[in-house]
Amino acid sequence: MKYFYDLHLHSCLSPCGDMDMTPNNIVNMAKLLGLDIIALTDHNTSLNCPAAVKVGESVGVTVIPGMELTTCEDIHAVCLFPTLDRALEWSEYVDAHRIKIRNRAEIYGEQVIMDENDERIGEIEHLLLPATEISIVSAYKTVKGFGGICYPAHIDRDSLSILAVLGEIDPSCGFKTAELADISKLPALKRLHPILNSMNIITCSDAHYLENMREAERFLELDSPTPEAALRLLDSPRR
């Protein structure tokens, strides 16, 4: 069956995320837009995923717990996990392997942790945007060790993408999927980077504001709308 997705969304925990991007607002907006499966992928943390998953369960939207990792090369990669426990274990690992600079909310924005009722239950003291110690070359294997999958984010962008920084996707990285911000760029990118012909290609909103979330257009063909089924598809060789 076809299940509509957006696997790259930021909440108010990302310093660049709008404060209206609460767990309830994100999940219910996804429901209104006709999305079946979404992923919460805040910068270098998964601590708002528990609330989003609970809201998703209550309204019938599958929420995959995830993260947008910033590698040591300043490349963004989406990390997705089949369970909250795995995502939170990964989040703890990343927290121990990232640069700790005190956040200045007046400059970068607040980093608010919420519960399923959109009540503040905490804040992250150190800025989530800086790079971690994890390299893009080791990211896939490292995330797999936590039971998740990993793939390069918005590869068509001029900054913070694997193509912008390294110029190519090395097969040794192990990625099975790549994400584009603008799917219309895919034909040109395939001509320049033939490796994309053997990869699964998805496109997501990377929304930091509710108004940037996209209506249901792109879908995954799955037996059921579960995190496990979605991850299995995205981590399989392109069919």
- Backbone φ and ψ for 9, nearest 5 degrees, come out as -135, 145
**pLDDT at residue 239, as a whole number:** 58
CATH code, residues 2-234: 3.20.20.140
Distance CA 109, CA 124 (A): 11
Give DSSP secondary structure letters for 25-44: HHHHHHHHHT-SEEEE--BT
pLDDT at 237: 85
- Bridge partners (DSSP) of residue 70 are 76
Rounded average pLDDT per 10-residue block, the chain, 239 residues: 98 97 98 98 98 98 98 98 98 97 96 98 98 98 98 98 97 97 97 97 98 96 97 89
120 alpha-carbon distance from chain centroid: 22
Answer whether 0.95 is exceeded by the pTM. yes
Written in H, E and C, the secondary structure of 131-188 is CECCCHHHHHHHHHCCCCEEEECCCCCCCCCHHHHHCCCCHHHCCCEEEECCHHHHHH
Q: Where are the domains of the chain?
A: 2-234
